[in-house]
Amino acid sequence: MGIEVSAFAGKDRRLAGFILAGRWPDTTREWTQFLAIAVRFAATPGLLQTTTVFRAVDDLPDDPEPEVVGLITAAGPVLGEGAPKPGQFADPQPAALIVLHPPTETRPSTPEAEGAASGCVLLPGIPHLGLDHRAGWVEAEADGTVTRLLSRVSVNLGEDPDIAVLATLCA
C-alpha cells in the first residue's frame, strides 16, 4: 500500500502540517521521499515564514478519511516565541522530527538553486539497543526540482546543525 501526503494550512494560511494516509513511511528512504514533498511545499513563496520544526504524531484530524494514519504537525519555529524547548519531545519520542527552511533561510547548494527551500528529517534511534539514528536531507526549488537529496543511517547527532537541533529536542 502506498503513502499519500496532503498539506494543510493553519488559520494564517501558512503551512501547518501534513496528513498521511495509507501507512506511515517505514524506511529511511521513504521518510526522505516524504521530506522531498514537504520541502517542495516549503519552497512555495509565503507558505512557510521561518524555519519550523514539525513532528510525527498518531493523532488524527477531525472526521478523517478511513485511510488516514496520522499527522506531521508544526511544533513551532526553531528560534523565538513558540519554539519547542530542549527535551520537549523526549517522552513520548516521535517517530520523526523534521525541520523545514523556507527559501529566505536556505543557503542553496549551487548558485543555480537560488530560491530553494531545504529540510532535514531525524528518525531517532535507540543506539544501546542497536537501533541507529537515521536522517535525510533535501533541497528543492518551488517548481519541484530537487537539487539535493541524501539519506543516511548511523548518523552522528553532532555532525550537522539541523540534526543537532532536532536531537536536542528529543534528548
From first to last of its 171 residues, the chain has per-residue pLDDT tens of: 789 999 999 888 899 999 999 999 999 999 999 999 999 999 998 899 999 999 999 888 788 888 999 999 999 999 989 999 998 998 888 889 999 999 999 988 888 888 899 999 998 876 555 567 889 999 998 888 999 999 888 887 778 899 889 988 987
**Rounded Cα distance, 128 and 130, in Å:** 6
State the Cα angle at 51 between 22 and 26, rounded to 5°. Answer: 25
| Residue 30 contacts residue 1 (beta carbons within 8 Å) | no
| Residue 35 contacts residue 53 (beta carbons within 8 Å) | no
Nearest 10 degrees: Cα torsion 84, 86, 87, 92? 20
pLDDT (0 to 100) of residue 56: 94
Q: Quote the pTM value.
A: 0.92
